[in-house]
Amino acid sequence: MSTTTYIVKGMTCGHCVSSVKEEVSGVAGITSVEVDLAGGLLTVNSEGPGRAEIAAAVEEAGYELAGQA
């Protein structure tokens, strides 16, 4: 299992956090998701999915994965 923290652009409220968390949690192999609105950070524990799958989920929620923190 690996833990990776990403920077997410565009989140401004609690609904944003919920949307990102819901979409990323739906990716196969994700075991936990934490979103820090103040820091614009997404921390993912996973067993397999890579950056591309996580970026696609963040984009599906309406935000941009800007890179790793």
Say if pTM beats, i.e. exceeds, 0.85: yes
Strand ranges in 1-69 using DSSP code E only, listed in sequence order: 2-9, 30-36, 41-46, 64-68
Q: Within a 10 A sphere around the Cβ of 2, how many other Cβ atoms?
A: 11
> What pLDDT, on a 0 to 100 scale, did the predictor assign at position 27?
96
Whether residue 49 has pLDDT greater than 90? no
> What pLDDT, on a 0 to 100 scale, did the predictor assign at position 67?
92
